[in-house]
């Protein structure tokens, strides 16, 4: 009977270790994805800013630049 408990305990410990490693790997991947998301979001904001400035420049009459 003790052998059954011992084997079961070993299997559960091994499974626990595998799951802990899986979680650790998943968290690292999640952090990388969050960083990429933030970079893409920043790039989109940059594009919006540049687009707005270009639109403002296109609306400004040429004579305003001569001053």
17-55: b (≥16 Cβ within 10 Å) or e: eeeeeeeeeeeeeeeeeeeeeeeeeeeeeeeeeeeeeee
CA angle, residues 28, 14, 3, in degrees to nearest 5: 170
C-alpha 63/C-alpha 10 separation (Å) is 82
pLDDT, tens digit only, all 67 positions of the chain: 999 999 999 999 999 999 999 999 999 999 999 999 999 999 999 999 999 999 998 887 766 655 5
């Amino acid at each position: 009977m003790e052998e059954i408990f011992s084997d079961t305990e070993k299997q559960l410990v091994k499974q626990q270790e595998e799951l802990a490693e899986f979680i650790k790997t998943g968290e690292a991947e999640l952090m990388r994805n969050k960083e990429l998301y933030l970079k893409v979001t920043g790039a989109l904001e940059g594009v919006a800013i540049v687009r707005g400035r270009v639109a403002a420049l296109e609306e400004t009459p040429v004579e305003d630049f001569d001053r």
